[in-house]
Structure 1
Amino acid sequence: MTVNSDLEGQIAEWRAYMHRRRELHRTDTEELEDHLRGRITDLTESGLHTDEAFLIAVKRMGSLDELSREFAREHSERLWKQLVLPGEPDAPTAARTRRELPVMVLCAAIAALAIKIPGWFGLDMSDDDFGFYARNLSLFALPALAAYFAWQRRVGTQVIGILALLFILGAVAANAYPLDNDSHTTVLTAIHLPLALWLVVGVAYVGGDWRSERRRMDFIRFTGEWLIYLTLIGLGGGVLMAFTMGTFRAIGLNAEGFVQSWLLPCGGMAAIIVSAWLVEAKQSVIENMAPVLTRVFTPLFAATLLAFLIAFIWTNNGINVERDVLILFDLLLVVVLGLLLYAISARDFAARSNLFDRLQLALVVSALIIDVIVLVAITGRITEWGFSPNKTAALGENVILLTNLAWTAWLFLGFVRGRMPFARLENWQTRYVVVYAAWAWAVVLAFPPLFNFA
């Protein structure tokens, strides 16, 4: 019984990996699994232990990457069908889509309406009330998105209560403090509250099972795919707004007010929900695109960072540690980590290291060196001028990023040298998400009173 359960566990892990290869349909995976089981049976009947039979059978089937590429070549039309056609889903999938579509539309409508509610109380998006909207922007759409996932995942009342309390805490932190529109802590709240609440959405996405490393990686993967869809919708929305204003102007009507007051804010909030729904409904399309984007941009970002380091050493110029510059460097480091996470999510853990892994290691090491340079510049300014909200936030964020990058580089080096399994790298990245969440909440809740709401 134990032997059979061990074998089924190994096959389940193999099947889970095959399901992540979006070049393969479920029927393809079932066909390959039947083939695998047949080989295992033949090998065990010849006297091999089940563990040995499983390993030999998988080896004889060849590289899973090669299998995926072969199926992709044979069924290359699938990507375009998935992109532009509804396809022919099985009955459970079709029924689930029919159920989820109206709920998604309802949540998108709630998010679109939410951003107009402050206007009923005399608040508009002018300069006078800009600080209010900047602090509360994430509170208009993310609660509706969390509600959508809570409904979709059928989470319990305890998880729903936790989600509600966290959103209420974010709303109180954004509005209870006496923050001026031009204060530094207002800007910090506007930047960090969306991050803190996005990770609250992550709790809903994983169905409350935040301890599962696999589910945390699913949410990280979802975040990247959501950004791709949101960007595409944003580009399309920009074209729509331009045509709307242009066509109405041709007949002597000014549609700019409608676009600025309704189409842009309401459409932006609804797009957050629609993008999430598209990720769930059309995963196979983006999961085919995302690894390709990672392969393209990883060498480009590595070359950019190396060029910056060479220029920094050659010119011996210091870094200007103004707020905008600090935000730029932090975003750059976050993009590096995003590229790394996407590559991790699409990788075969059993495969040996290759040239692309070494390129990623170079990217991480370059980002690590830049982070050290930025930290030296920040600490120098703090030593000279003292602590301020921006410099303290930048110091903490760069220390957090430095810790992540340093340990990531060490794990990557161990993997490239064949001394460490690749799975440890994924486990480290998914566990470290909690550190980002804790820091974001600390900035939102503690920084305004700590710095006298300046």
Structure 2
Amino acid sequence: MNSNNPIIDNIANPHELERMYREEPDAFKKSFTYAWEQNSNSPVLGVWYQRLYFQDKIRTEKAPLLQKDFITMGILAILAGITTRILFHYVDDNTIAPINIVFGILLFMAIYFVTNHVPNKKVLYTLASSFLISGIFLNLLPVELTDSIILVYIHLPIFLWVVVGLAFTGNEHGRGSTRLAYLKFNGEFAILYACMAISGMLLTGLTMQLFKFVGMDISEFYFENVVIFGAAALALVAVYLVSRNLKLAKNIAPYIAKIFSPLVLVTLLVYLITVMVVGKNPFLDRDFLLSFNGVLLAVLAVTIFSITESGKDEKKTISDYMNVALIILALIIDSVALSAIVFRLSSYGISPNRLAVLGVNILIWANLVVIMLSYLRFLQNKTGPLAIQDAVTKYLPVYGLWAAFVTFTFPLFFN
């Protein structure tokens, strides 16, 4: 044995090799290089070689692809920033509606997904026509804030979000697993983008203050030419990082889901008790009914986020029971909201706002029922967690179709 090399000395002692690696991985790698050169036929060292350098080999093999992805992201990020800045100029002049700015981000996100995994022509034509028709239709509408046009401004981003989901899933848009991956992507994207946005705000504040020290106010120029451009470009950077399996967002997302579910549950219980004590009536108070629906959407979002981050573990956890409790409360809220909307329709007549809220509440109620039934079967050991996730993902196109219906028909029916 070579007493100068601890790895060769302990080549027959796997426990000691593992201890050495865990205590000083860098020193272990240095010693391993010499040991491998002297004993490249050793099966033990062969296993260690793959363990130490497997990821390095993958990165080396994927280097050209990584470079291509990075260049694609850089080009699309710059184009997204420039497009958003141009759109903002026309928005500032009241030439076009402010909601046009979503095209400067969502369009290039869709292009990024398509360039990485080119789908078939049917999907490509659907994507292109969806963005083109949406852009033309939106800008044919008058730039005014009537009820039906406000509904377009609310529902168009939802429709385009589903269209971006089609670009993400590509040829596998019918599979629940790929739709689930898109939902997970959105959660991780939101976390990462929020972190970068906070950093950007700190940089903006520092920059403003530095220029104020020399007597210059650059706030308007900086916002119009740096903040707007950067906000759009950062979206593409976040898409790239999440797509490249950045561990930060992926590691944080499950913990956020586990923390927020009980917090939202407790907050919602306190809120509902307070509502009953105060005596607020969603049947008569329009603003309260809107806030009630806002709470419902928030609960639905948290529940779906928690389900998508729960993984495929067959074992029941406290998070599953939290999700069930959240779904039950959401169903109660939605049932009250539906009753209030029907009451207002029968009392005050049909309006675009009431029809839109009625439609989305019916969709959410049906979605919650399907998720609830899947969860009950899971808790009774009749199905696995995949059935719950399928109950969530199969509703994505339904929301997209409803958003498209409101966007493209309400301005025609309600002038």
TM-score by shorter chain over 0.5: yes
Q: Are positions 1:162 and 2:126 aligned together?
A: yes
1:299-448 aligned at under 5 Å gives the runs 299-319=262-282, 328-448=291-411
Is the counterpart of residue 280 in structure 1 residue 234 in structure 2? Answer: no
Match of 1:40 in 2: none
Larger-gyration structure (1/2) = 2
Matches of 1:313 and 1:180 in 2, distance apart? 41
**Contact 1:135/1:189 (<8 A) preserved:** no
Residue in structure 2 matched with residue 136 of structure 1 by the alignment: 100
Displacement of 1:352 after TM fit?
Answer: 3.0
Give % identity: 27
Distance 1:93 1:321, change over 3 A: farther
Q: Pick from 71, 92, 101: which aligns with 1:125?
A: 92
CA spacing shift, 1:124–1:364, aligned 2, 3 Å: closer
Whole-Å Cα distance in 1 between the matches of residues 120 and 149 of structure 2?
35
- What do the CA deviations read for 1:307-353 (whole angstroms, capped 9, x no partner)? 12222333332138877655644443333333333333343545232
Work out whether residues 282 and 340 of structure 2, in 8 Å CA contact, stay in contact via their aligned partners in 1.
yes
Q: Is the 8 A contact 2:110 2:168 kept in 1?
A: yes
Number of aligned pairs? 363
Q: Which residue does 1:449 correspond to in 2?
A: 412
Aligned equivalent of 1:209, options 160, 172, 197: 172
Superposed CA RMSD in Å reads 2.4
2:283–2:344 contact (8 Å) kept in structure 1: no
The equivalent position to 2:197 in structure 1, one of 206, 211, 234, is 234
* Contact 1:224-1:338 at 8 Å conserved across structures: no
Q: Give the alignment's TM-score, normalised by structure 1.
A: 0.74
1:105 and 2:79 aligned: no
- Summarize the Cα distance change of 1:282–1:415 in structure 2 as closer, same or farther, 3 Å threshold: closer
Question: Aligned partner of 2:221: which letter?
Answer: F
Question: Aligned equivalents of 2:206 and 2:385: distance in 1?
Answer: 49
Of 137, 141, 147, the residue aligned with 1:184 is 147
**Tell me, which stretches of 5 or more residues in structure 2 are unaligned?**
1-21, 26-54
Matched to 2:127, the amino acid is L
8 Å CA contact 2:184, 2:309 repeated in 1: no
Query: 2 CA distance for matches of 1:322 and 1:433?
Result: 31
User: 2: CA distance between counterparts of 1:140 and 1:295?
Assistant: 33
Contact kept in structure 1, 2:345 and 2:354, CA below 8 Å: yes
- Report how far residue 270 of structure 1 moved: 1.2
- Give 1:264 deviation, angstroms: 2.3
Find 2:116's aligned residue among 152, 157, 161.
Answer: 152
Bigger mean CA deviation after superposition, 419-428 or 167-176:
419-428
Question: Which residue identity does 1:106 align to in structure 2?
Answer: I
* Further displaced range: 237-246 or 140-149: 237-246
CA offset at residue 255 of structure 1? Answer: 0.6
CA 1:269–1:326 in 2, change beyond 3 Å: closer, same or farther? farther
What is the alpha-carbon distance in structure 1 between the residues aligned to residue 238 and residue 288 of structure 2?
A: 30
Give the drift of 1:167. Answer: 0.4
1:198 is aligned to 2:167:
no
Q: 1:310 to 1:324 in 2, by over 3 A?
A: closer
Partner of 1:437, secondary structure, is: helix
| C-alpha distance in 2 between matches for 1:237 and 1:325 | 35
Aligned equivalent of 1:254, options 205, 217, 226: 217
**CA distance in 2: counterparts of 1:328 and 1:234, whole angstroms:** 27
Aligned to 2:52: none
Query: Residue 449 of structure 1: CA displacement?
Result: 1.0
TM-score (norm 2): 0.81
Shift of 1:441: 0.4
Q: 1:322 to 1:276 in 2, by over 3 A?
A: farther
Contact 2:162 2:400 (8 Å CA) reproduced: yes
Alpha carbons 1:173, 1:444 under 8 Å: kept: no
The Cα shift of 1:149 comes to 0.8
Q: What is residue 116 of structure 1 aligned with on the other side? A: 85
Q: CA deviation at 1:424?
A: 1.6
Q: What do the CA deviations read for 1:243-298 (whole angstroms, capped 9, x no partner)?
A: 22221111111111112311222122112211111111243221211110001000
1:193 CA displacement: 0.9
**For the residues of structure 2 that align with 1:216 and 1:376, how far apart are their CA atoms?**
32
Q: Runs (4+) of structure 1 moved beyond 6 Å?
A: 320-324
CA distance in 2, matches of 1:325, 1:106: 46
Amino acid at match of 1:193: L
What letter matches 1:136 in structure 2?
N
Retained in 1: the 8 A contact 2:254–2:310?
Answer: no
Which position in structure 1 is the counterpart of 2:38?
none
CA distance in 1, matches of 2:283, 2:202: 36
The letter for the 1-side match of 2:407 is V
| Residues 1:264 and 1:183: Cα distance change in structure 2 (over 3 Å) | farther
* Inter-partner Cα distance in structure 1 for 2:148 and 2:246: 38
1:345 maps to a residue whose letter is T
